[in-house]
Amino acid sequence: MLVPFIKAIFLAGIFSLVACSTSPPKGVSVVPQFELRRYLGVWYEVARLDHSFEKGMTHTSANYTVNPDGSIQVLNRGYDTNKNEWSQAIGKALPLGNPNVPSLKVSFFGPFYGGYHVFALDPDYRWALVVGSDLDYFWLLSRDKTLSPELRAQLVAQAKSIGVNTEKLIWVDQSASQKDPKTTP
C-alpha cells in the first residue's frame, strides 16, 4: 500500500517553513538561467539533510511534470524502511516570479508552501543542488542514482560554501536491492 510520504514531510516540517517566506535563504543566489522543460522528469535524491519526517526513507525520487494549468506536478516516491512499504505523494509547485528562475514554492498540504531553490545546476541538467527557505533543507539530486566520488566531493564543497551543514548529510540508499512495485514486475 502506498502512503503519502511527502504529505508527512510537509506536515512535520511545513509549520516551520510557513513562518518563513518561500524566498531563498539570505545570501543564497539561484542559478541565473533555467529551462523548466529540461528540469522536468525524474530526479533521484542522492543526499539530503535528514529530518524526522524523512527518517528511514530510501530510494527517494521526484518526477516533475507540467499540469494543464501550467503549474508543476511533483510526484515524490520513496521506500519507508520503518513500514517496509513504498510511499508517494503528489504536490504542486509554482514559480515565485519569473519561470526562468528556479525559485519555486511547493505544496503537498493544502495552502501551505515551502521554498524550493536550485542554487547549482549541471549545464546538462544531470545534477542539482537545492535548498528550502533556509539552509536546514538541502537536497543533492541527480538524474543517475549514483555520482562519482570526485563529483560528490565537489558538490558537497559547493553546498558547504553557502553554509549547508554538510557534516550532517544523509547519503540515500539507491541500490537495486529494493524493487519498486510500480516499475519492476
Question: Could you write out the DSSP letters of every residue in 23-60?
Answer: SPPTT----S---HHHH-EEEEEEEEE--GGGTTEEEE
More confident site: 155 or 13? 155
- Give the residue among 133, 85, 87 at the shortest CA–CA distance from 107: 133
Distance CA 32, CA 155 (A): 18
Range among 3-12, 158-167, 174-183 rated most confident: 158-167
What mean pLDDT comes out for the span 107-116?
Answer: 85
Which element (helix H / strand E) includes 6? helix 5-19
Distance CA 141, CA 128 (A): 5
Q: Looking at residue 112, what is its pLDDT? A: 84
Question: What's the whole-model pTM score?
Answer: 0.83
Phi then psi for residue 166, to 5 deg, are -70, -15
Domain boundaries, the chain: 5-171
Distance CA 93, CA 135 (A): 19
| Residue 95: pLDDT over 80 | yes
Q: Looking at residue 177, what is its pLDDT? A: 63
C-beta pairs of 63-71 under 8 Å, 24+ apart in sequence: 64/39, 64/40, 64/93, 65/40, 66/36, 66/40, 67/92
Structure-block grid coordinates of residue 166: 554538510
| Residue 178: pLDDT over 70 | no
| Residue 41: pLDDT over 70 | yes
Distance CA 77, CA 86 (A): 7
Indicate the average pLDDT of the chain.
84
Collapse the DSSP code of 10 into the 3-class scheme (helix H, G, I; strand E, B; otherwise coil) and give the result: helix
| Residue 174: pLDDT over 70 | yes
**How is domain 5-171 classified at the CATH fold level?**
Lipocalin (2.40.128)
